Amino acid sequence: MKGLRKYIEKIKPRFEKGGKYENWHSVFESFETFLFVSGETAPKKGAHIRDAIDSKRLMSVVVIALIPAMLFGMWNSGYQHFLSLGQNVAFFQEFWHGFIKVLPIILVSYIAGLGTEFVFVYIKKKEIEEGFLVSGLLIPLIVPVDIPLWMVAVATILAVIFGKEVFGGTGMNIVNPALLTRAILFFAYPSKMSGDKIWISGLEKGTGIVDGFSGATPLAQAASTTHEQLTQHGFQFFDGFKENAINFYDMFMGWIPGSIGETSTLMILIGAAILLYTGVASWKIMLSGLVGAAVMGIMLNTFATPTNPYMALPFYYHYVMGGFAFGLVFMATDPVSAAQTERGKWIYGFLIGVMAILIRVLNPAYPEGMMLAILLMNVFAPLIDYYVIRGNVSKRLKRVKVK
């Protein structure tokens, strides 16, 4: 560590004004502050209180919280792959298969995103911001494992430019950049982002797949349940094979097909615990999101009709299916794009829960509503904040006595 610090001190003058690599100053500085907490404390003028934790450290906590979901996702990719082949292999082999599949996606996402940011930093001559540290790991976890890498690169670059840089960089974005990447992928290349064939690696190619294996996610299964099935057996879920029924516990543990990092609610809960313990994410958003989904779920249950049996699905199933938990813990709580006021956070989270279930159940075109729900509420967050603040202002104005 000391050696690294010494080396940085040694090469620093070359990047300062008048040095050989003056133009690369911003890039150099961003690496320096990534490796070491900046020595500056309070500025000379003004009374600004500064925490020792800067946003690079804050982002690192989120990355750490994502690691359980990422590791589980790697194993699950392999597990699902060998399940589809009908082979029984060792744990390590399953993990290795997933690791080889997922690692390139992570690398491509980081290289494309950071590359775009570096280009903008270089043009604008400002300090590089750390926002992409988290987005770069979020993107691989919310895409299917077989997604072509060039698509990830294209969508990441577009999302960083149009979701973040045109608004002024990290901290200025209206919508969550990682989720925007997924939305771009979803609308640009729907054949690689939805359907039954794409969630398990190798299934689309179809070589060596066991007969009768289906890659349908629990979300798709719930959506395609017919009224007859519902009245005879209730909701039934199965893994790749029709005879292997899975239940709530299996979905909670996460050995089901889905986007890489979003299947295991347990691993996401570990991440949530880290985020809540360190105070990085807002528990209000998470809690109100759960309440919102429950309210909407129960409401749909009450009005369930034979024409849309999906409406009868008990609300707690929504928590463990698809990307609901992942979105609520890691995406909705993004401090930049979420509501900033405390009361606003309750409204924001609640509406995300409501919208997600509403889109899932009532819109057959989008099996997963979480992405669209969060993006929609990202756009509305400033409006919510505005009215919360206006409400507070008018409340306090009433206390003012006019003499």
Partner 1 sequence: MGKNMKLVTNPLNLNNPILVQILGICSALAVTVKLEPAIVMAVSVTLVVAFANVIISLLRNTIPSRIRIIVQLVVIAALVIVVDQILKAYSYTVSKQLSVFVGLIITNCILMGRLEAFALGNKPWQSFLDGVGNGGGYSLILIIVAFVRELLGSGTLTLPSVGEIQIIPQSFYDAGYQNNGLVILPPAALIIVGVIIWVQRSYTRELIDEKE
Of 11 and 188, nearer to partner 1 (C-beta) is 188
Range in contact with partner 1 (rule: CB under 8 A) among 66-74, 90-98, 110-118, 150-158 = 150-158
Range in contact with partner 1 (rule: CB under 8 A) among 146-154, 199-207, 333-341, 379-387 = 146-154
| 3-class SS of residue 9 | helix
Q: Is 314 in the site for partner 1 (CB under 8 A)?
A: no
Range in contact with partner 1 (rule: CB under 8 A) among 13-21, 180-188, 328-336, 346-354 = 180-188
DSSP state string for 85-146: HT----HHHHHHHHHHHHHHHHHHHHHHHHHHHHHHHHHHT-PPPSTHHHHHHHHHHTS-TT
Of 190 and 279, nearer to partner 1 (C-beta) is 190
* Strand (E) or helix (H) holding 316: helix 315-320
C-alpha to C-alpha distance for 135 and 106, rounded to whole angstroms: 10
Of 107 and 154, nearer to partner 1 (C-beta) is 154
C-alpha to C-alpha distance for 379 and 383, rounded to whole angstroms: 8
Select from 283, 197, 212 the least CA-distant residue to 243.
212
Q: Is 190 in the site for partner 1 (CB under 8 A)?
A: yes
Of 190 and 391, nearer to partner 1 (C-beta) is 190
Q: How far apart are CB 186 and partner 1 at their closest, in Å?
A: 9
Q: Pick from 11, 42, 188, 273: which binds partner 1 (CB under 8 A)?
A: 188
Of 191 and 394, nearer to partner 1 (C-beta) is 191
Residues with Cβ within 8 Å of 13's Cβ and at least 6 positions away in sequence, in order, are: 19
Q: How far apart are CB 159 and partner 1 at their closest, in Å?
A: 11
Range in contact with partner 1 (rule: CB under 8 A) among 136-144, 171-179, 184-192, 337-345 = 184-192
C-alpha to C-alpha distance for 152 and 231, rounded to whole angstroms: 42
Q: Pick from 96, 120, 122, 162: which binds partner 1 (CB under 8 A)?
A: 162
Burial (CB count <10 Å: 0-12, 13-18, 19+), residue 127: middle
Q: Is 148 in the site for partner 1 (CB under 8 A)?
A: yes
**Residue 57 CB: number of other CB atoms within 10 A?**
16
Q: Is 366 in the site for partner 1 (CB under 8 A)?
A: no
Select from 382, 81, 387, 30 the least CA-distant residue to 210.
81
Q: How far apart are CB 245 and partner 1 at their closest, in Å?
A: 36
Q: Is 298 in the site for partner 1 (CB under 8 A)?
A: no
Q: Pick from 150, 167, 277, 387: which binds partner 1 (CB under 8 A)?
A: 150
Range in contact with partner 1 (rule: CB under 8 A) among 143-151, 268-276, 279-287, 349-357 = 143-151
Q: What is the DSSP letter of 400?
A: P
- Crossing angle between the packed helical segments 132-141 and 149-159, to the nearest 10 degrees: 140
Q: What is the largest CA-CA distance in the chain?
A: 85
Q: How far apart are CB 150 and partner 1 at their closest, in Å?
A: 7
Of 150 and 386, nearer to partner 1 (C-beta) is 150
Q: How far apart are CB 188 and partner 1 at their closest, in Å?
A: 4
Which chain residues interact with partner 1 by CB under 8 A?
A: 148, 150-151, 154, 162, 166, 184, 187-192
